C-alpha cells in the first residue's frame, strides 16, 4: 500500500510538471505566430511625438529592444533563452511600465489577488457545501426550497454584472463602501487597525460579488449530490435503524457527497484568472486581474506573457495540492 501511494504522488507531480511545461511552451509560441510585433509597437510609441528620428538610431533601438525582450535569433534560440531567463525568475521589463521588471509588477499585485479571490473562494465553497448539504438532506423543508430558488437566480449572473449592481447600490446610491481601490488614500500599510479596517471596507464589495456567485454554484452542486446519496440503501438502513439525523448527515452523507466538490475546489483555487478577475477591474482593485487588463489595453507583450505563465502555474499547483490531499478524504485512493 505504501509503495502504491508513493507511485501515486510521483505520478501526480510528474503530471503537474508536464502541464506546466506544455502550458508555458504554448504561451511562448502563440505570441510569436501573431502579426503583432512588440518591438515595432514600442518603437512607434517612442517616436510618435518626435518630429524626426535618425534611421540609425531607430535601428539601434530595434536591436536593443529585440535583445532586451529575447526576440533575437531563431525561434529555437529564443525558446532556449526564454527558459534560461524564466528559471532565473527573469521575465524581462514591462513595456508599459518600463523599466520596471514584470516579476516586480506581478509580485506587487499578487498579495491583493490572493487575499481577495483566495479567501472569497474558500468562503463560498465552505458555506455552499455546508448549507447545500443541509438543504439536500432536508429537501422537504420550506427554507431549503427558498434557498434553492435564490441560488438558481443568482448563480447564472456573471461576476461583473453582479459586481456592477453592488457597486451602484452600495457604493453610489447608498454610499456605505468605497467605489474603488484597495485601501484609503493616505493610509500607511501595516498591521494596524486603521489600515486593516480600510482594506476590509474596500475589499468587502468585490469579495461579496465573488462569494454570492460562487455560493450559488456550490450550493446547487452539493444539494444535487446529497439528493443522490440519500437514496442509497445504506442511508435508508441507517434511518430505519434509528441513527440520529445529524450523525447520518455528518458521517455518511456529507463525506460521500463532498468528494466531487473537492475536485471542483482545486479548479476554483487555480482559476483565479476567470470571470472573477473582471471584478478587480470593476472596483479598480490592484490585483492580478486589474494588472492583466491594463497590460492588454497597453499591448504590454512581456507582462501579458508573465501573467499567463503565472496563471498556468497557479492552476497546475492548485490541482496538484488537492490531488495529494485527496487520499485523506478518500481512503480508496491509497489502495489503488
pLDDT of residue 257: 80
Q: Does residue 247 form part of some domain? A: yes
* Cβ neighbour number for residue 258 with a 10 Å cutoff: 18
pLDDT of residue 265: 76
Same domain, 8 and 68: yes
Same domain, 161 and 33: no
pLDDT of residue 102: 83
Q: Does residue 92 form part of some domain? A: no
Q: SS3 string of 280-319?
A: HHHCCCCCHHHHHHHHHHHCCHHHHHHHHHHHHHHHHHHH
pLDDT of residue 210: 83
* Cβ neighbour number for residue 295 with a 10 Å cutoff: 23
Q: How far apart, in whole angstroms, are the C-alpha atoms of residue 1 and residue 55? A: 70
Is 0.85 topped by the overall pTM? no
pLDDT of residue 1: 56
Instruction: Give per-residue pLDDT as tens, 32-72.
Output: 776 666 666 666 666 665 655 666 666 666 776 666 666 67
Same domain, 65 and 158: no
Single out the residue in 58, 87, 116 at which a domain terminates: 87
Number of domains into which the chain is organized: 2
Mutual angle of helices 119-137 and 142-154, in 10-degree steps: 140
Q: How far apart, in whole angstroms, are the C-alpha atoms of residue 167 and residue 30? A: 36
Same domain, 55 and 193: no
CA distance between the termini of the chain: 8
Same domain, 192 and 217: yes
CB-based contact 220:148 (threshold 8 Å)? yes
Same domain, 138 and 212: yes
Single out the residue in 42, 58, 87 at which a domain terminates: 87
Single out the residue in 87, 122, 137 at which a domain terminates: 87
Q: Does residue 93 form part of some domain? A: no
27: domain range?
Answer: 2-87
Q: Which of 157, 161, 154, 42 is nearest to 98 (CA)?
A: 42
User: Which residues of the chain, if any, have pLDDT below 50?
Assistant: 335
Q: Does residue 12 form part of some domain? A: yes
Q: How far apart, in whole angstroms, are the C-alpha atoms of residue 83 and residue 99? A: 21
Which one-letter DSSP state was computed for residue 335? G
Amino acid at each position: 500500500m505504501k509503495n502504491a501511494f508513493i507511485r501515486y504522488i510521483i505520478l501526480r507531480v510528474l503530471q503537474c510538471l508536464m502541464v506546466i511545461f506544455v502550458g508555458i511552451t504554448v504561451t511562448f509560441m502563440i505570441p510569436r505566430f501573431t502579426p503583432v510585433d512588440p518591438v515595432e509597437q514600442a518603437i512607434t510609441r517612442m517616436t510618435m511625438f518626435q518630429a524626426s528620428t535618425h534611421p540609425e538610431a531607430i535601428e539601434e533601438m530595434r536591436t536593443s529592444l529585440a535583445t532586451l525582450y529575447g526576440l533575437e535569433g531563431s525561434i529555437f534560440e529564443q525558446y532556449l533563452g526564454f527558459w534560461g531567463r524564466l528559471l532565473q525568475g527573469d521575465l524581462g521589463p514591462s513595456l508599459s511600465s518600463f523599466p520596471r521588471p514584470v516579476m516586480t509588477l506581478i509580485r506587487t499585485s499578487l498579495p491583493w489577488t490572493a487575499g481577495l479571490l483566495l479567501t472569497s473562494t474558500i468562503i463560498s465553497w465552505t458555506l455552499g457545501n455546508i448549507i447545500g448539504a443541509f438543504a439536500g438532506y432536508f429537501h422537504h423543508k420550506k427554507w431549503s426550497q427558498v434557498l434553492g430558488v435564490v441560488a438558481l437566480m443568482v448563480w447564472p449572473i456573471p461576476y461583473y454584472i453582479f459586481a456592477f449592481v453592488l457597486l451602484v447600490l452600495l457604493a453610489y446610491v447608498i454610499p456605505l463602501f468605497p467605489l474603488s481601490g484597495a485601501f484609503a488614500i493616505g493610509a500607511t500599510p501595516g498591521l494596524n487597525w486603521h489600515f486593516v479596517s480600510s482594506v476590509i471596507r474596500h475589499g468587502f464589495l468585490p469579495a461579496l460579488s465573488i462569494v454570492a456567485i460562487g455560493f450559488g454554484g456550490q450550493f446547487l452542486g452539493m444539494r444535487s449530490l446529497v439528493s443522490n446519496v440519500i437514496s442509497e440503501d445504506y442511508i435508508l438502513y441507517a434511518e430505519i435503524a434509528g441513527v440520529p439525523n445529524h450523525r447520518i448527515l455528518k458521517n455518511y452523507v456529507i463525506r460521500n457527497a463532498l468528494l466531487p466538490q473537492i475536485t471542483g475546489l482545486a479548479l476554483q483555487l487555480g482559476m483565479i484568472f476567470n470571470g472573477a478577475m473582471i471584478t478587480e477591474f470593476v472596483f479598480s482593485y490592484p490585483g492580478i486581474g486589474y494588472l492583466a487588463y491594463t497590460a492588454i489595453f497597453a499591448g504590454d507583450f512581456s507582462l501579458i506573457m508573465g501573467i499567463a505563465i503565472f496563471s498556468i502555474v497557479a492552476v497546475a499547483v492548485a490541482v496538484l495540492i488537492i490531488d495529494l490531499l485527496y487520499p485523506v478524504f478518500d481512503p480508496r485512493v491509497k489502495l489503488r
